[in-house]
Structures are given as C-alpha cells and as structure tokens.
Structure 1
C-alpha cells in the first residue's frame, strides 16, 4: 500500500570518574565513560566486560549518573545486560555505535542489549549513536532462534531518543511489561525482505508513546500485542513494512486484550497495510470500538478497506472521511466486509457491506 495516511485507531524504553557539581540545582552528575573501563571501541575487540564493569559502577552510584558510549567509536559486544535495581537515576549518553558479533558468538534467542528493572532511565543518542544487529547472517536461517537488538523489560518512566537501530535478526526494539515510555526520533532500518523484523514489538505494557520516528523493516513497523493499553503512535513514517498492527491476538493466549490504541499523523509508504488489527485464524476474538478517521492516499491492489472478522464479529466500527484510491489511473477499488458492524460516512470507496 503506497500512500499518505492520517488516521485514529481506537481500541480500547570509580574509575576515577569525572564528577561535575551542578551548583545551581544542588545535584551531582557522575560521568562513567566505557573507555575508562577497558573498552577499545575499535569494532573488533570484545568490549562486553568493559561495558559490564562500567554498568556496575553506574548502577551503584548514588544520585545522578551518566554512562557514556562515546561518539566516533564502534563497540563489538556479545551481550549487554543493564539491570536494576540501581541506587540513583541513570542517563545513557549513547553516541557511539554498538555492533553484534558473528552469529556463532551471539547467544541464541537473547537480545544484544537487554535493559530491565529500571525506573526513570533516559537514553539519548544525539542523532549519532545506535546499534547494528548484522541480521543478514541470520535471516536465511529459518530454523534459528533469532534474537533482537534492544529489549526493555519492566522499565517505567523510560525515555529513549535520537538513536538508530539497523539490521536486527528479529525485532529491533521490544518493550515488555513497561509502564510509561517515550521513544522519539528513533530510526529503524532493515530491508523489506528481512523476515519478522518488527520495528517495535510491544507487549504487556501501558502508556507507551512512539513519536517522530522513521521505521523501515520487513515486518510490522509497530506491533502491539496482548496485554497492552494506552499505546500511542504519532508522527511515525512507516515503510517498507507491514504497517502498524494490533496483534496477532489470540495466537498464544485466548484472552488477549488490547485497548486504547491511538495512531495519528502517520505516513505509510510502500507498506503492505496501513493500520490493521490481526487475530489468529479460527479464534473468536472480539473486536469493538474501532475508528478510522481522516485516512487518505492510494493503494496498489483492488481492495482499499478489508474488514474480515471472526464469527464473534467486529462491532461499532466507524469509518469517516476516508479517501483511498488506486495508484493506477482509472482503476477502481472497493471494500469487503465479513461479520463487521458499524457505520461509514464520507468514504471513498463506499462501504455498503457494513452491517448495522
């Protein structure tokens, strides 16, 4: 689907340390640079232990601490695990580049960078930092348990900004059991042929905002999975990829619930879908209270609107101010429905198949 779309979908992230005294606010910010703990930053030496030692010092520091991953350096690691509970607030100045090891050196199924049990963490790459997962060595291995690059678990009041994640073997950024996280100015880039490389994979989390970001992947730009609520995407450019998706619901848990999802001012370019809700085949997942409003652009196929619901039905579906046309001049597009109940106003194409 090649289009520009704006819509709302409602369903119900001491070495001898350099210390700086900030007299104006009476706090201390302790700086911990990984280069001071043995990191080489040459992209060839294994810097995993240097990062681990740095993190231990940061986590045990009282007050405000900053972990510096310096710019113009490339750090090869096999796995980073940043875990709380820490004694103070932590900021990660993520201006260098982290790269994955060979597939043989990367522990199967484990994310390259795991961050868990931290409150109030901030990460800022200043538009320079990020990580590369070397996913091309994994994508053709269908039997491999492919890992992701950046994983957040049980992190509350999280802020992540200005970083780039590329070529993940699987999902680029996964968010699990987090409450209150803002991801802004995130660049995600993998080729459209890379399998299951979701940009963001969100599960069992609430109050998550992804904004002003650019996501190119081989799967969903943002996947919102069961147990999630109050998920917001705004100002996201998606494509290539599969669009922004809720689900698949009911795939692993019959009582999957997702609510209060809002997608606004997002652009989809060369995606297979725009905004969609996915349920596992042969399940009776109920979908209700969904609004698509202010959606416009072009599509590649014959079907612009597809409301294919299970036997439980989709209820209170509202389509309003929809204008989707074919990208081929003169070709008509249509809508299809199955067990879908709702209303359609000011809609091109017309959706007469909605039940009342």
Structure 2
C-alpha cells in the first residue's frame, strides 16, 4: 500500500511515497520478516517518485541475509525507527554469501537513518570463530550493514550492535556522510570492527561513538579523501589505517584526516599497519587533536604487521609510508613505549612529523619512543622525545 508523506518544503522528500514494511506483511513478532521486507523493497526501488522505506518503532523485526539491490528509479530514504535483528541460525547463510547480512548495493542518493537499532545477534558467530576456538577452521562471518557501490550516501542516527563481524562497511562508495552512529559489541568479540572503509572516495565520518572487539575505524586499500572527526573510541583496537599487502588489488590509502578523537583503554591508538611484501603506499595522513586515556600503543607505525599463526618472513618489498603528521596528541600510555615506529629496511618510513605531542605513562612516569628505519622531524614540544637516531 502506498501512502503520501510530507516533509518541509526544502526537502527532496516533500510529498514522497511512504512504503511501510507492515503493509507488506511484516509482523515484528519474532518470526522471520525477510519476505515482507523484500516485497516492500521491490516496490520502493521501482517507484518513480522519491520514496521512504519505513521500519516503524516499538517492534523488532527478524531478518535472514537480505540484499537491498539497486539501482533505483528515484531517491530513497530508509527510515529505521524500530529494531532489526539478525537470525541466530547460522544455517540461514548456507549456500549464500556469508560476508553479508544487510547489503545495500548500487543505490545512489540513498539516505539511511531513523534512530533505530540494528542488532547482528553475533554471539553464535563469535563462539564459533577460529579466534575463540583455535581448533576450528577460519570462515567468513557477516558484516551487519554493508554499503557497496553507492554514490551520494548518507547514513546517520543509528545504533548498530553485536555484529557477527564488521558492524558497518563502506565498499567502493563515493561522497559518503556517516554521522551520529552508536556502535557497540563486547570487547571479547573477534573481528568486530566498528566502521570499515575500503575502496571508497570522499567520506566524512563524524560524531560517532564506537566500542568493539577490533578496530573502531579501519581504513584500507583504495580509500582516498577520508575524514573522521569527533570520534569516541574504546574499548577496541583504536583507529587503524592499512592492512595493505601483496594481495590487495588497490594497494594505497591517501589523504586521510583523523581530527578530534578520544580513545580510552584501547590496545592501539592511531595505527598505520602494513604487511611485508607488496607495493603501493599510505601517504598524506594527519592525526590531530587526539586525547589518549590509558592506551597501550598510542602512536604506532608497523610495516611488519602479521596476523597469522605462522611467523611472517622478512621480505625486501614493502608498502611505502610517507608524509604523516601527528599534531596535538596528548594523554596517557598503558605501555612503556608510547611512540613506536617499526618500518621496513628496504622501504623506510619518511616525512614523519611530530608536533605538540605530550604522552606520559598511565599513573605517572616518562614514556619512551622506539624507532627503526624511519625519517622523522619534530616541531614544537614532543614527549616522549623521538628516538636519538632516525636509522
């Protein structure tokens, strides 16, 4: 059933068509509502008028893996006011793509919000992860919300929690605004990155609070023009850029700004990590106006990253890390080494600038720096003092 909805006259959604999932059979009574959502989306995406896809408040809708496929004929706004919960039955993914739960694909000028909750119901996936049960083979687990190949995208005012793996992923998107997202899962949950950015151009992430078992924000290959501002992070693994290696098809990250963030109790602060081997670069990256509270590795570059059960052998090639600015970073380190630059012998880090850094040990005392194969300069106050020798 189609309804008309009026917004203020300045909105492109003035007199938009309203599609309510309950008009297509959704009950929100604990039983699977996937079929109703699919029907409602089919009508939504084929509408020639601007349209709002409505998930009403005060109910919890259970969904199996579901793709919201575009392109659509007109602008779409998805209003999630209620709750959406993933099926707890892993067999619902059998024979399907295990990497996704809710996938929004090839939808331009999409807006998603509404103040509701997305619950990945991830406990059964965590219990059967090879990170928890090391005897089990490693397998993919779903990302709660994936936005793929979307242009001019807005995602705001949502609570995303207990994802099976990554909470929100932006993949091969452009011109993205993500704001006012509250993301949470237990500190012990494996691989539950908060916001993941890959192959994406021109994305702003603002005013988000993230508590996870992995990176609060991870920015990886093919991403350029990324700005993250007013971020609260912890627990988790901090804000990470990289994981670049020889198996990345787009082996670069550039033009990233992390500005105004508070990290508390995280295992890393602001981190650049690359695997040995391969090529490409991570460059023109700024971390500024950041408070660290009891963070284990507040500032770290690791060109020898190795997330493997077997040791990673030293290789001659490496991803180039250059033109990195650390400015106005203050607070406390849970470890003795507050500034740690471990770079490649064959491709040393260069153009690293430290400006107005004040990091001390948690509970008092002087923190230290550790450097290997890095060219750095300091401007203004820098504590701890950079290493005595660059190489």
Structure 1 position 95 matched with structure 2 position 81: yes
For 1:344 and 1:198, locate their aligned partners in 2 and report how far apart those are by CA, in whole Å: 32
Aligned match of 2:19 = 32
> In proportion to residue count, which structure has more strand?
2
Contact conserved, 2:199 with 2:250, CA < 8 A, in 1?
Answer: no
CA deviation string 1:26-50 (max 9, x = no partner):
95300000010000112x2110010
For 2:166 and 2:337, locate their aligned partners in 1 and report how far apart those are by CA, in whole Å: 29
Give the gaps of 5 or more residues in structure 2: 131-136, 277-314
Contact conserved, 1:209 with 1:233, CA < 8 A, in 2?
Answer: yes
For 1:259 and 1:24, locate their aligned partners in 2 and report how far apart those are by CA, in whole Å: 39
Structure 1 position 139 matched with structure 2 position 136: no
Matched residue SS, 1:240: coil
Structure 1 position 116 matched with structure 2 position 114: no
TM-score (norm 2): 0.83
For 1:202 and 1:41, locate their aligned partners in 2 and report how far apart those are by CA, in whole Å: 32
CA deviation string 1:30-84 (max 9, x = no partner):
0000010000112x21100100000000111112100000011100010221111
For 1:102 and 1:261, locate their aligned partners in 2 and report how far apart those are by CA, in whole Å: 37
Match of 2:360 among 325, 347, 352: 325
Matched residue SS, 2:123: helix
Contact conserved, 2:224 with 2:256, CA < 8 A, in 1?
Answer: yes
Aligned match of 2:169 = 174
For 1:24 and 1:248, locate their aligned partners in 2 and report how far apart those are by CA, in whole Å: 46
CA deviation string 1:12-38 (max 9, x = no partner):
xxx2x1124679579530000001000
CA deviation string 1:150-177 (max 9, x = no partner):
0010001100111011111110011110
TM-score (norm 1): 0.91
Match of 2:348 among 313, 337, 341: 313
Contact conserved, 2:160 with 2:183, CA < 8 A, in 1?
Answer: yes
Aligned match of 2:3 = 18
CA deviation string 1:113-169 (max 9, x = no partner):
0001011101112x3x12111111111212332111000100011001110111111
CA deviation string 1:265-324 (max 9, x = no partner):
011011111111001134511100000000000010100000111120111000000000
Task: Name the CA shift for 1:353/1:245 in 2 (closer, same or farther; >3 Å).
Answer: farther
Structure 1 position 337 matched with structure 2 position 371: yes
**CA-atom RMSD in angstroms:** 1.7
Higher RCO, Cα 8 Å, sep 6+: 1
Matched residue SS, 1:138: helix
Give the gaps of 5 or more residues in structure 1: 1-14
For 1:223 and 1:21, locate their aligned partners in 2 and report how far apart those are by CA, in whole Å: 38
Match of 1:185 among 180, 183, 193: 180
Matched residue SS, 1:316: strand
